[in-house]
C-alpha cells in the first residue's frame, strides 16, 4: 500500500494525516495542477458535483451514491472547504484522489478556495485547531492558487440510457416517457430509483438535417406530460433544452463574466493568485445567474448577476449546450434555469447541518462518439447522420441524470463537531 | 401568551337564560392542552381573599361549576407575576405557575372587568410588598414566583420536558423558568441545595446505572432545550464548576445519534489540559479561564451542530468578556509578568541579564542572555546554552506558547486593552522572548514566535519598528557590543535563510514583508496579513492611488519607517537576497539541481522582492538594478520545477506592470524575454498554467502598449513571435511594432485595441461602485522627479506618460476609467458579441487619448444608447468613411488610410473634424471620455440590459471565423495552430487593397428577432472563407493596426 493509499484510507476514516504528509501531498498536487489549463478538458462520462463545504460525511455519501472515485469520474466545482467541520479532511481526501487518479477526478476552484474567505469562514480555524499552526492552511491555500478555473466536458451523450431500476413511487408510469423516447433528464434518488424522467422534445426535421435548422420553429411533438420536478426547467412548456443542443458543457463555480466572451479568454489569465476582488477570475468564481436582462450588480459584492440572454449568447458563441455551476444553495439539490441552458448543482445536503436541503450530483453520459469528433450512429437515427459539420448545428443538450441524496445518516458520521483545542493556558 | 395567540381562542359560553348575580360571573374555563383549548366546563367565577396578611394576601380566583355547585372548576392563587392578560373584553388569559396556560371566557364584559380589577388590585398589593425587599433573591426564592416544575426524577422526565417546553413558550414564563433552573433551592434551615439543572445532571448517572437510554435521551433533549433558551445567566450556570459535569454528561447521549456516546465529561474532567507556566494566584481568574475553556468546548464540540445563531453569539460574547477579564488581569499583575518573563532570564551567566531592572527598556532586553549567542543559528541549532536543563527549556517553551495565546486573545479585545497589554509585555522584555523563540530548535516554538511578532506588528508596526530602530541606534553607537544581535529584521532574515520548516519559513517571509511594509501603519487588517503578498501589495497599491498618497518611503510614511526601510536597504537587503545573487555562480546548469529547500527559499525571496518592488519602488529599484536581480531571477526560469518558474514569471509580470523604464531597460539589455519566450514555445501545445502565465505577461505588454518592450520584442524576436500562431497575441505585438515603425506614435499608450483579454492590473476601476483593488501605483512624485530628466525626451511615446496624464485629471488618481479588460473594438461582425454589452467593454472604450474636438461628441455619445449610434453608422452613408477610419480604433489622432501597406505614407495630418455622430467610435479617444467613463460605467447596468437585446446576428456573409476552429470543444484536441490563419494568409489579407467596405451597413444585419434568445447559426461551410474575409475586412478598416488576428477571429465593433 503506497503512502498515498494509506493517506486515502486514513482520510476516508475522517482522520487528518500528518502535517508532513499534507505538505508532500500539496507539492505533488501542485505539480499536477500546473499542467492543467485554466479550463480543463474532461471527457464524458463524468459526474459533476457542486459545493461540499467540509461536510465530510456527506461527501462520503456522495461517493456512495455516485460510485467510488476511480470507478466513476468526478468533477468537483469548488467550495470544498469552510462552514462544515471537516473541511480539512474533505479537501485533503479530494486532493489525494486527484493525485492518485489524476484522470478520474477534476477539481476546480470555488470562491471559498481563497485565503481571505477561509480565514473568515472556518477553514483557517480548523487547520489551526487540528495542527496547532497555520502551516497546513498555507499549504492548502497554495494548492488553491493552482486549481483550474473551469472545466469543459466534451462528448456527453444527448440522451440517457434509461436506468432499469424501479421507480421510487412505484405507481403507473403513464407520465414517464416510454423507453423508446430519448430521455433528456432523469432524476434518481439516492437508492438509484427513478423519481422522474423527461423525454426530449424532438425536432421534426430529423430526416433531413442538412437543411438549415431553425430552432425557433422546431415544434415539440412530444412534450413531457408532466411538469418538471422542482428544480428542473422541464416544464411542459419549456420543451426541454431545444435552444442550442449538443455542445460541450462548461463547468465553473460561479458563472460568467462580462470580461469573458469566449472560453479562450479564460486561457489568458494567470490564475495562480489569490482570488482577486474583481476581474474575470473573480467573476467566474462569484457570479450568479438571475432572472434579469443582461448584467446586474451582485448582492454578494463580487461578481455579477447575469440573465438568460447572457447565458444563451455565451453558450451559442462558445458552442456550449449547458453551463453547469454551483455556488448557490438550492433546496432541491439542482436547479435548471433559462430553458436548461444553465444548471446549478449543489452537493452539500443539509447545508451547515441545518438548512434542510437535499443535494444532487449530475451525471453526464458518454455519447460513444469519441468525444465528439467522430460521431457514429448508435441505432438512433435521430442522433446523427454522421456528418459532423451539420450535426453540430443540431446538437442537443446533454442527457442529464441527477442523483438526489440527503445528508448522510446521522449514525454513519458520528457527531459532527469541531475538534477541541488541546492544551490551554487561557 | 404566544400559545394563546396561535391556539384557538376559547368560545364564549352559550347564552344563559338570565343574567347572573353580580358576584357570580358566568364564565367558561379553558386549559391549553396540546396547543388546543380544552374546555374544563362552565361555572361562576369570583375573586376571594382567603386570608393571609393584608399586605400579602392569599387571593384566589375560584370558579364553581354551574351544574354542581360543589364542584370547583378552578381555584388559582393570583401571583404578582404579570402574566395576566385581558383580551377582547371578555377574556382573561394567564399562565399557571406550573406552566399551564389558562383562560377564562366571560359571558359579559362587565364580569370580566370586575375580575380583572380584582386581579390588578391584588397584584398591586403584592408588588408593593416585594418593593422594599432586595428583589433578586426574593424573586428566586419566592415559591410563588418560580415556576413549579415536577421533581426531577427519572420517572418524571417526560413531565419535566413538557413543563419546560410549555414554560418556554412566553417570555415571562421563560424568564421564570430560567430562574427556577439556576436557583439554588434551599430547604429551610439548610445550605443552599443544588439547582434544578444540577439535579437534572445528577440524574445522568442514575439513568446510566439503570441503563435507561430513553431517559438519557430525554435528559439530553431537556438540556439542549434549556441551553437554546439562549439566556446568559443560564449558560453561565451551566458552565459553572457545579453544573458542568452533569450538563455535558446529559449531552453525551444525543438522541440524534442513538448509537453514539460522547465523552465530554471525561474530557472536561481532565484538568491536566490546563497548564500554568506561572501559577495564577487569583482564584477568580482561574475560574474564568476554566469557564472560558468550557464555553469554547460547548461551542465547538458539544453544541457545534445544534447551535443557532443567537445562542452562538451569546456564547461568543460570554467568551469574549471572560477573555478580556483574564487578559486585563494578567497584564496588570506585575508580579505575574515579572515571573513570566523572568523564565527567559533564568540562569544568568551574563550578569547584565538579570542585574538590569526587569522592566527596563528594550535596550536592556537586547543584552539579556541572548546577547551571547554570537554564531549564526544553523538549522539544527540547539542553543540555549545557558539553560541546559530540559525542564528549563520546556518551561521556556510553554512560556512562549502562553504568550502566544495571550497575544492571540488580545487580537479580539479592544484596542486600548490590547495596547496596554503589549506595552506591558514589551516593557517586561517581549522582544527578547521573540528573539528567543525565533531561534528555538522546535518548529512549533518558532511558529509561536512569529505568531507573537506578527500579532505585534498587526497591532502597531510602528512599535516594532521603533524597537528595531532603537536597537539599530544602539548598534551604531556601539557596534562592537551588539555583534550579531542586530535588529529583529536581521534575526528574521538570518532565520528565513536557514529555516528548514517550510511552514515557518513562509511565516517568517510574511513577517519580513509586513515589517517593511510602509503602508502597514494601520496594521489592523488581519485578513491582509493572512492573504499573500499579492493582496497586501494590491491593497497598498490601492491606497497608493489616493491623490496625496505616496508609496515607497514617501512623505506620508512616518520618518521612522522611512529610516527603517532605508536602513534595510543599506544593511540587510544584501544579506536577505544573497542567495539570489549567488545564483550567478551556479549558472544555468546549476538550475537543474535545485533542492526543495532551495526552491522554497527562492520562492519566498522572489515573492518578497515582488512585494518590495511595488512597495519601495524607488529604493528597491536601485537595489535591484545594481544587483542585476532581474538576471538572477531569470535564471530560475530555467529550472525544472514549474512552480519555481511560475514564481519567476510572476516577478517579471510585476516588473513589467510597473511600466518602469529602468526595469524594462534592464530586461531588454539582458535579453530576459528570451527565456520567457522559450517557455511559451515549450509549452505552446499544452494549455497549462505556465503557458497561461506567459500569455498573461505578453498580453499585458500588448494591451498596455508598452512601447519600449514591444519594440524590443519585435525587433529581437520577430520571427519567433510570428511563429507563435496559436493565439493572436504575438502577431498583434508585431503589428503594433509595425505601427510604431510606420511613424505613428500613439498619443496614448492605451490606444491599443485588441481582441484578447487580460486582467488589467495597472489602474483601479470602479465596478459596482466599489473601488478596485489594483496592482500598481503610479510613480510617486519624488521618484518621478528623480527620473524626470532622463525621461523627458522619451516621454511622449512612453507608457508612463499615460499614468501622468491621468494624474493631471481633476480626479486623476481616482480615475476609474481604465478597464479591467480591453475589449476588442473590431468585433462588430461577430454574431454574438456579448462583450459588446459588457460594462468593461464600455470601460475599455473610454480610456483613450483624444483630439479635443471630440469632447463634446463624446459627451453626447456617452448618453446615447449604443443602438442609436450604430444605426446612424449603418444608415448614414456620409459618415461611413469616417466610421471606418474611426473604427481603426487605434485611438490614433490620425487614422491611416487604406491597408497597412500604405501606412507608411500616412503622415499625421491633423485629423479632420468629424461628424458628431460618428464619434461614437472614437469617444474612447477622449480624456474626457475617460472621466465620463466612470459615470457611464456606473449607470451602465441599464443600458447594458438594453444592449444585450440587440445582439446582432451574422448574415450568411458573416466574416466570423469558422465555428469549428472557434469551438472550445475542439480546441483541446486539435492542433491549436489551425485555429488562427497561417501568418501568410493574414499578411496577404493585410496587403489586399482595401475594398470600400461599409462594414456596418453591409456586413452586419441586425436581426430584430434575435433578442428572444434564439440565434441563427452560422453555416459552418462558410467558415473558412469567412475567416479570410474577416481578415481582409479588418485590414481594410483603415489602420491595419490591430484589426484582427485574434484567435477567435472576431472583428468587434468598437462601441456596441
Residue of B652, B693, B1013, B1023 best to disrupt the A interface, most CBs of A under 10 A = B1013
Q: Is 3.30.2140.20 the CATH number for B25-129? A: no
- Looking at the structure of chain A, the number of domains it has is 1
Beta carbons of B1046 and B756 less than 8 angstroms apart? yes
Element (H, E) at B365: helix B362-366
Residue of B448, B691, B834, B1047 best to disrupt the A interface, most CBs of A under 10 A = B834
Quote the pLDDT of residue A268: 86
Contacts 24+ apart (CB under 8 A), B300-303: B300/A129, B300/A417, B300/A418, B300/A419, B300/A420, B300/A421, B301/A417, B301/A418, B301/A419, B301/A420, B301/B264, B301/B267, B302/A417, B302/B248, B302/B251, B302/B262, B302/B264, B303/B224, B303/B227, B303/B251
Mean pLDDT throughout A184-204? 77
Owning domain of residue A338: 20-159+241-368+396-409
The helix/strand/coil state of B65 is strand
B50-54, B227-231, B396-400: which has the minimum mean pLDDT? B50-54
CA distance B916 to B857: 5
pLDDT in tens, B24-58: 678 888 888 777 778 888 888 887 776 656 556 67
Quote the pLDDT of residue A201: 63
CATH number at residue A52: 3.60.21.10
CA distance B516 to B489: 9
pLDDT band with cut points at 50, 70 and 90 for residue A309 = very high
Quote the pLDDT of residue A166: 59
Quote the pLDDT of residue B1040: 33
Closest CA in chain B for residue A241? B1014
pLDDT band with cut points at 50, 70 and 90 for residue B718 = confident
Indicate if the pLDDT at residue B552 is higher than 80.
no
Chain mean pLDDT for chain B:
63
- As given in the structure block, the three cell numbers for residue A322 are 449547458
Nearest Cα residue to A269 out of B699, B882, B910: B699
pLDDT in tens, B176-188: 888 877 777 655 5
Mean pLDDT throughout B562-566? 79
The helix-helix angle for B502-515 and B533-543 (nearest 10°) equals 10
The distance of B382 to chain A (nearest Cα, Å) reads: 22
Test A152 with B968 for CB contact under 8 angstroms. yes
On chain B, the residues whose CB falls within 8 A of the CB of A214 are 1016
Test B688 with A418 for CB contact under 8 angstroms. no
- Running DSSP on this structure, what letter comes out for residue B257? S
Indicate if the pLDDT at residue B911 is higher than 70.
no
Neighbouring residues of B742: CB distance < 8 A, sequence distance ≥ 6: B896, B900, B903, B904, B906
Beta carbons of B936 and B842 less than 8 angstroms apart? yes
For chain B, state the CA radius of gyration.
40
Test A116 with B535 for CB contact under 8 angstroms. yes
Displacement of CA B925 from its chain's centroid (Å): 36
Indicate if the pLDDT at residue A69 is higher than 80.
yes
Indicate if the pLDDT at residue B226 is higher than 70.
yes
Closest CA in chain A for residue B1047? A264
A291-300, B158-167, B888-897: which has the minimum mean pLDDT? B888-897
Mean pLDDT throughout B698-726? 86
Neighbouring residues of B581: CB distance < 8 A, sequence distance ≥ 6: B574, B627, B629, B632
pLDDT band with cut points at 50, 70 and 90 for residue B927 = very low
pLDDT in tens, B848-881: 333 344 433 433 333 333 333 333 333 333 333 3
Mean pLDDT throughout A258-269? 88
Quote the pLDDT of residue A361: 94
Test A247 with B642 for CB contact under 8 angstroms. no
> What is the DSSP track for B822-849?
PPPS--TT-TT-GGGG-HHHHHHHH---
Give bridge partners of residue B766 from the DSSP assignment: B771
| Sign of the CA dihedral with B32 first, then B34, B39, and B43 last | negative
In a domain, A384, yes or no: no
Q: Where are the beta strands (DSSP E) in A173-297?
A: 183-188, 194-199, 248-252, 288-289, 295-297
The number of C-beta contacts closer than 8 angstroms across A and B is 328
Residue of A316, A340, A356 best to disrupt the B interface, most CBs of B under 10 A = A316
CA distance A250 to A152: 5
Mean pLDDT throughout A65-87? 91
pLDDT band with cut points at 50, 70 and 90 for residue B319 = confident
CA distance B41 to B66: 9
Indicate if the pLDDT at residue B612 is higher than 60.
yes
- Phi/psi at B62 (5° precision): -125, 135
Percent of chain A with pLDDT over 90: 45
Indicate if the pLDDT at residue A156 is higher than 90.
no
Nearest to A115 among B503, B531, B973 (CB): B531
Nearest to A317 among B834, B969, B1014 (CB): B834
pLDDT band with cut points at 50, 70 and 90 for residue A414 = low
In a domain, A213, yes or no: no
pLDDT in tens, A12-67: 988 889 988 999 999 999 999 999 999 999 998 999 999 999 999 899 999 999 99
Q: Categorise residue B671: left if φ over 0, alpha if ψ from -120 to 50, beta otherwise.
A: left
Quote the pLDDT of residue B10: 42
- As given in the structure block, the three cell numbers for residue A342 are 444553465
Mean pLDDT throughout B522-549? 41
Indicate if the pLDDT at residue B441 is higher than 90.
no
Quote the pLDDT of residue B554: 38
pLDDT band with cut points at 50, 70 and 90 for residue A74 = very high
pLDDT in tens, B792-846: 333 333 333 333 333 333 333 333 334 434 444 433 333 343 333 334 333 333 3
pLDDT in tens, A198-243: 887 654 443 333 333 333 333 333 333 334 444 444 333 333 343 3
Indicate if the pLDDT at residue B102 is higher than 50.
yes
| CA angle, residues A39, B822, B803, in degrees to nearest 5 | 125
Buried b (16+ CB within 10 A) or exposed e, B821-840: bbbbbbbbbbbbbbbbbbbb
Test B692 with A37 for CB contact under 8 angstroms. yes
Closest CA in chain B for residue A374? B970
Burial of B351 (0-12, 13-18, 19+ CB in 10 A): exposed
pLDDT band with cut points at 50, 70 and 90 for residue A72 = very high
Quote the pLDDT of residue A144: 94
Nearest Cα residue to B430 out of B454, B446, B453, B451: B453
Give Dmax (Cα) for chain A: 79
- As given in the structure block, the three cell numbers for residue A24 are 508532500
CA distance B469 to B461: 12
Indicate if the pLDDT at residue B369 is higher than 80.
no
The distance of A165 to chain B (nearest Cα, Å) reads: 32
The structural domains of chain B, with segments of one domain joined by +, span 25-129, 156-270, 295-346+392-459
On chain B, the residues whose CB falls within 8 A of the CB of A374 are none
In a domain, A125, yes or no: yes
Indicate if the pLDDT at residue B295 is higher than 80.
yes
Quote the pLDDT of residue A78: 92
Given A53, A57, A112, A327, the catalytic residue: A112
Quote the pLDDT of residue A327: 93
The distance of B14 to chain A (nearest Cα, Å) reads: 47
pLDDT in tens, B741-788: 776 555 444 444 444 444 444 333 333 433 333 333 344 444 444 444
Nearest to A392 among B502, B686, B1020 (CB): B1020
Indicate if the pLDDT at residue A369 is higher than 80.
no
Quote the pLDDT of residue B128: 65
Percent of chain B with pLDDT over 90: 0
Closest CA in chain A for residue B761? A279
CA distance B756 to B750: 14
| CA angle, residues B845, B848, B849, in degrees to nearest 5 | 150
Q: Categorise residue B46: left if φ over 0, alpha if ψ from -120 to 50, beta otherwise.
A: beta
Burial of A73 (0-12, 13-18, 19+ CB in 10 A): buried
pLDDT in tens, B994-1024: 333 333 333 333 333 333 333 333 333 333 3
Mean pLDDT throughout A69-98? 92
Neighbouring residues of B321: CB distance < 8 A, sequence distance ≥ 6: none
- As given in the structure block, the three cell numbers for residue B1005 are 444585419
Quote the pLDDT of residue B335: 84
- Phi/psi at A195 (5° precision): -90, -45
The helix/strand/coil state of B67 is coil
Chain mean pLDDT for chain A:
78
Q: Across the beta sheet with A334-337, what order do the strands follow? A: A39-43, A150-154, A248-252, A320-325, A342-345, A334-337
CA distance B392 to B386: 10
Beta carbons of B895 and B886 less than 8 angstroms apart? yes
Indicate if the pLDDT at residue B685 is higher than 60.
yes
Amino acid at each position: 500500500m503506497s503512502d498515498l493509499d494509506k493517506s486515502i484510507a486514513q482520510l476516508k476514516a475522517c482522520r487528518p494525516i500528518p502535517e508532513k504528509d499534507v505538505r508532500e501531498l500539496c507539492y505533488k498536487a501542485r505539480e499536477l495542477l500546473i499542467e492543467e489549463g485554466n479550463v480543463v478538458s474532461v471527457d464524458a462520462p463524468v459526474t459533476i458535483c457542486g459545493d461540499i463545504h467540509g461536510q465530510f460525511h456527506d461527501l462520503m455519501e456522495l461517493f456512495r451514491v455516485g460510485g467510488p472515485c476511480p470507478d466513476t469520474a468526478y468533477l468537483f466545482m469548488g467550495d470544498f472547504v469552510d462552514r462544515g467541520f471537516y473541511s480539512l479532511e474533505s479537501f485533503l481526501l479530494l486532493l489525494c484522489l486527484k493525485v492518485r487518479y489524476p484522470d478520474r477526478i477534476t477539481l476546480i476552484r470555488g470562491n471559498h478556495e481563497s485565503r481571505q474567505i477561509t480565514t473568515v469562514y472556518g477553514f483557517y480555524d480548523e487547520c489551526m485547531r487540528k495542527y496547532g499552526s497555520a502551516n497546513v492552511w498555507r499549504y492548502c491555500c497554495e494548492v488553491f492558487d493552482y486549481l483550474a478555473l473551469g472545466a469543459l466536458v466534451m462528448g456527453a451523450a444527448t440522451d440517457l440510457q434509461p436506468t432499469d431500476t424501479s421507480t421510487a413511487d412505484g405507481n403507473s408510469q403513464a407520465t414517464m416517457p416510454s423507453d423508446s423516447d430519448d430521455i433528456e433528464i432523469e432524476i434518481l434518488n439516492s437508492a438509484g430509483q427513478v423519481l422522474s424522467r423527461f423525454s426530449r422534445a424532438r425536432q421534426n426535421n430529423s430526416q433531413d438535417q442538412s437543411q438549415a435548422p431553425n430552432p425557433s420553429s422546431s415544434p415539440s411533438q412530444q412534450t413531457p406530460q408532466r411538469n418538471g420536478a422542482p428544480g428542473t426547467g422541464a416544464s411542459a412548456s419549456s420543451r426541454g433544452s431545444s435552444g442550442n443542443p449538443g455542445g460541450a458543457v462548461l463547468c465553473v463555480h460561479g458563472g460568467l463574466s462580462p470580461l469573458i466572451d469566449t472560453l479562450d479568454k479564460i486561457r489568458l489569465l494567470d490564475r495562480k493568485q489569490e482570488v482577486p476582488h474583481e476581474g474575470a477570475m473573480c467573476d467566474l468564481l462569484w457570479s450568479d445567474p438571475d432572472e434579469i436582462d443582461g448584467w446586474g450588480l451582485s448582492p454578494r459584492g463580487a461578481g455579477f448577476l447575469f440573465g438568460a440572454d447572457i447565458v444563451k449568447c455565451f453558450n451559442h458563441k462558445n458552442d456550449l449546450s449547458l453551463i453547469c455551476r454551483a455556488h448557490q444553495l438550492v433546496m432541491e439539490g439542482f436547479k435548471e434555469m433559462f430553458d436548461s441552458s444553465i444548471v446549478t448543482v449543489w452537493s452539500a445536503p443539509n447545508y451547515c447541518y441545518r438548512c434542510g436541503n437535499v443535494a444532487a450530483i449530475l451525471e453526464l453520459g458518454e455519447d460513444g462518439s469519441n468525444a465528439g469528433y467522430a460521431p457514429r450512429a448508435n441505432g438512433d437515427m435521430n442522433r446523427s447522420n454522421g456528418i459532423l459539420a451539420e450535426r453540430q448545428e443540431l446538437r442537443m443538450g446533454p442527457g442529464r441524470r441527477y442523483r438526489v441524496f440527503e445528508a448522510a445518516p446521522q449514525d454513519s458520521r458520528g457527531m459532527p463537531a469541531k475538534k477541541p483545542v488541546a492544551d490551554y493556558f487561557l | 401568551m404566544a400559545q394563546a395567540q396561535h391556539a384557538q381562542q376559547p368560545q364564549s359560553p352559550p347564552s344563559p337564560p338570565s343574567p347572573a348575580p353580580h358576584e357570580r360571573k358566568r364564565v367558561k374555563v379553558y386549559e391549553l392542552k396540546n396547543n388546543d383549548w380544552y374546555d374544563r366546563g362552565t361555572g361562576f367565577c369570583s375573586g376571594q381573599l382567603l386570608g393571609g396578611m393584608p399586605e400579602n394576601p392569599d387571593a384566589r380566583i375560584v370558579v364553581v361549576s354551574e351544574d354542581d355547585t360543589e364542584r370547583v372548576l378552578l381555584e388559582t392563587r393570583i401571583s404578582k407575576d404579570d402574566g395576566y392578560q385581558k383580551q377582547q373584553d371578555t377574556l382573561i388569559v394567564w399562565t399557571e405557575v406550573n406552566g399551564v396556560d389558562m383562560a377564562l371566557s366571560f359571558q359579559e364584559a362587565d364580569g370580566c372587568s370586575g375580575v380583572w380589577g380584582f386581579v390588578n388590585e391584588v397584584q398591586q398589593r403584592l408588588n408593593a410588598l416585594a418593593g422594599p425587599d432586595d428583589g433578586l433573591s426574593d424573586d428566586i426564592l419566592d415559591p410563588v414566583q418560580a415556576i413549579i416544575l415536577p421533581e426531577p426524577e427519572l420517572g418524571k422526565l417526560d413531565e419535566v420536558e413538557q413543563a419546560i417546553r410549555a414554560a418556554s413558550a412566553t417570555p415571562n414564563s421563560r424568564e421564570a423558568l430560567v430562574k427556577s433552573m439556576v436557583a439554588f433551592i434551599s430547604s429551610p434551615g439548610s445550605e443552599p441545595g443544588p439547582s434544578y439543572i444540577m439535579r437534572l445532571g445528577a440524574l445522568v448517572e442514575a439513568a446510566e446505572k439503570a441503563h435507561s437510554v430513553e431517559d438519557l435521551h430525554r435528559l439530553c433533549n431537556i438540556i439542549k432545550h434549556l441551553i437554546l433558551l439562549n439566556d446568559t445567566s443560564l449558560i453561565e450556570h451551566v458552565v459553572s464548576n457545579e453544573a458542568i459535569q452533569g450538563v455535558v454528561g446529559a449531552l453525551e447521549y444525543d438522541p440524534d445519534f442513538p448509537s453514539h456516546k460522547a465523552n465530554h465529561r471525561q474530557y472536561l474532567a481532565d484538568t491536566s489540559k490546563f497548564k500554568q507556566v506561572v501559577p495564577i494566584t487569583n482564584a477568580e481568574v482561574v475560574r474564568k479561564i476554566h469557564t472560558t475553556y468550557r464555553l469554547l468546548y460547548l461551542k465547538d464540540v458539544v453544541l457545534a451542530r445544534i447551535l443557532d445563531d443567537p445562542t452562538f453569539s451569546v456564547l461568543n460574547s460570554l467568551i469574549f468578556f471572560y477573555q478580556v477579564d483574564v487578559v486585563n488581569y494578567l497584564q496588570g499583575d506585575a508580579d505575574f509578568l515579572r515571573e513570566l518573563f523572568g523564565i527567559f532570564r533564568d540562569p544568568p551567566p551574563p550578569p547584565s541579564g538579570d542585574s538590569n531592572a526587569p522592566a527596563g527598556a528594550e535596550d536592556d532586553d537586547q543584552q539579556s542572555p541572548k546577547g551571547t549567542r554570537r554564531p549564526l543559528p544553523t538549522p539544527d541549532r540547539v542553543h540555549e546554552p545557558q539553560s541546559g536543563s530540559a525542564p528549563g527549556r520546556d518551561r521556556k517553551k510553554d512560556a512562549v506558547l502562553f504568550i502566544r495565546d495571550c497575544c492571540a486573545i488580545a487580537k479580539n479585545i479592544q484596542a486600548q486593552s490590547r495596547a496596554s497589554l503589549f506595552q506591558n509585555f514589551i516593557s517586561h522584555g517581549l522582544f527578547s522572548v521573540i528573539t528567543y523563540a525565533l531561534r528555538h530548535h522546535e518548529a512549533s516554538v518558532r511558529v509561536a514566535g512569529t505568531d507573537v511578532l506578527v500579532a505585534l506588528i498587526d497591532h502597531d508596526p510602528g512599535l516594532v519598528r521603533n524597537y528595531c530602530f532603537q536597537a539599530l541606534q544602539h548598534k551604531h553607537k556601539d557596534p562592537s557590543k551588539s555583534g550579531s544581535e542586530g535588529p529583529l529584521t536581521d534575526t528574521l532574515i538570518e532565520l528565513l535563510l536557514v529555516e528548514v520548516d517550510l511552514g515557518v519559513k513562509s511565516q517568517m517571509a510574511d513577517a519580513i514583508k509586513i515589517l517593511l511594509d510602509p503602508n502597514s501603519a494601520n496594521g489592523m487588517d488581519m485578513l491582509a496579513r493572512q492573504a499573500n503578498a499579492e493582496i497586501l501589495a494590491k491593497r497598498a497599491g490601492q491606497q497608493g492611488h489616493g491623490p496625496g498618497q505616496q508609496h515607497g518611503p514617501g512623505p506620508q510614511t512616518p520618518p521612522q519607517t522611512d529610516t527603517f526601510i532605508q536602513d534595510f536597504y543599506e544593511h540587510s537587503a544584501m544579506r536577505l537576497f544573497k542567495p539570489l545573487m549567488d545564483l550567478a555562480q551556479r549558472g544555468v546548469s546549476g538550475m537543474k539541481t535545485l533542492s526543495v529547500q532551495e526552491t522554497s527559499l527562492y520562492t519566498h525571496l522572489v515573492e518578497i522582492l515582488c512585494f518590495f518592488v511595488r512597495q519601495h519602488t524607488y529604493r528597491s529599484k536601485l537595489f535591484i538594478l545594481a544587483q542585476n536581480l532581474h538576471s538572477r531571477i531569470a535564471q530560475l526560469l530555467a529550472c525544472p520545477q514549474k512552480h519555481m518558474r511560475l514564481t519567476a514569471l510572476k516577478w517579471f509580470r510585476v516588473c513589467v506592470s510597473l511600466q518602469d523604464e529602468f526595469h524594462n531597460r534592464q530586461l531588454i539589455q539582458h535579453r530576459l524575454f528570451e527565456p520567457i519566450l522559450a517557455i511559451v514555445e515549450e509549452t505552446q501545445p499544452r494549455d497549462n498554467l505556465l503557458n497561461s502565465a506567459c500569455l498573461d505577461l505578453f498580453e499585458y505588454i500588448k494591451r498596455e502598449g508598452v512601447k519600449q518592450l514591444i519594440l524590443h520584442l519585435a525587433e529581437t524576436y520577430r520571427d519567433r513571435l510570428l511563429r507563435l500562431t496559436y493565439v493572436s497575441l504575438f502577431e498583434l505585438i508585431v503589428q503594433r511594432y509595425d505601427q510604431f515603425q510606420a511613424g505613428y506614435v500613439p498619443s496614448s499608450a492605451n490606444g491599443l485595441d485588441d481582441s484578447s483579454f487580460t486582467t488589467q492590473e495597472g489602474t483601479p476601476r470602479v465596478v459596482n461602485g466599489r473601488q478596485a483593488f489594483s496592482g500598481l501605483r503610479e510613480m510617486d512624485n519624488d521618484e518621478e522627479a528623480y527620473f524626470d530628466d532622463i525621461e523627458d525626451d522619451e516621454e511622449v511615446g512612453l507608457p508612463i506618460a499615460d499614468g501622468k496624464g491621468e494624474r493631471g485629471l481633476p480626479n486623476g488618481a481616482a480615475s476609474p476609467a481604465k478597464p479591467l479588460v480591453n475589449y476588442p473594438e473590431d468585433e462588430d461582425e461577430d454574431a454574438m458579441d456579448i462583450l459588446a454589452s459588457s460594462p468593461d467593454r464600455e470601460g475599455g472604450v473610454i480610456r483613450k487619448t483624444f483630439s479635443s474636438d471630440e469632447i463634446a461628441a463624446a459627451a453626447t455619445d456617452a448618453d446615447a444608447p449604443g443602438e442609436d449610434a450604430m444605426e446612424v453608422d449603418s444608415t448614414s452613408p456620409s459618415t461611413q468613411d469616417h466610421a471606418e477610419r474611426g473604427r481603426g480604433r487605434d485611438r490614433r489622432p490620425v487614422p491611416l488610410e487604406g491597408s497597412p501597406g500604405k501606412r507608411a505614407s500616412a503622415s499625421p495630418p491633423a485629423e479632420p473634424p468629424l461628424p458628431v455622430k460618428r464619434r461614437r467610435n472614437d469617444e474612447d479617444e477622449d480624456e474626457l471620455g475617460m472621466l465620463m467613463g466612470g459615470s457611464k460605467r456606473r449607470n451602465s447596468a441599464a443600458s447594458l440590459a438594453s444592449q444585450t437585446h440587440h445582439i446582432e446576428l451574422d448574415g450568411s456573409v458573416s466574416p466570423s471565423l469558422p465555428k469549428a476552429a472557434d469551438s472550445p470543444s475542439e480546441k483541446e484536441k486539435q492542433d491549436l495552430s489551425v485555429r488562427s490563419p497561417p501568418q501568410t494568409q493574414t499578411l496577404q489579407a493585410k496587403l489586399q487593397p482595401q475594398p470600400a467596405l461599409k462594414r456596418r451597413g453591409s456586413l452586419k444585419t441586425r436581426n430584430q428577432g434575435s433578442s428572444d434568445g434564439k440565434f441563427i447559426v452560422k453555416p459552418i461551410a462558410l467558415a473558412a472563407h469567412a475567416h479570410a474575409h474577416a481578415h481582409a475586412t479588418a485590414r481594410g478598416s483603415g489602420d491595419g493596426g490591430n484589426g484582427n488576428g485574434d484567435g477567435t477571429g472576431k472583428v468587434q465593433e468598437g462601441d456596441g
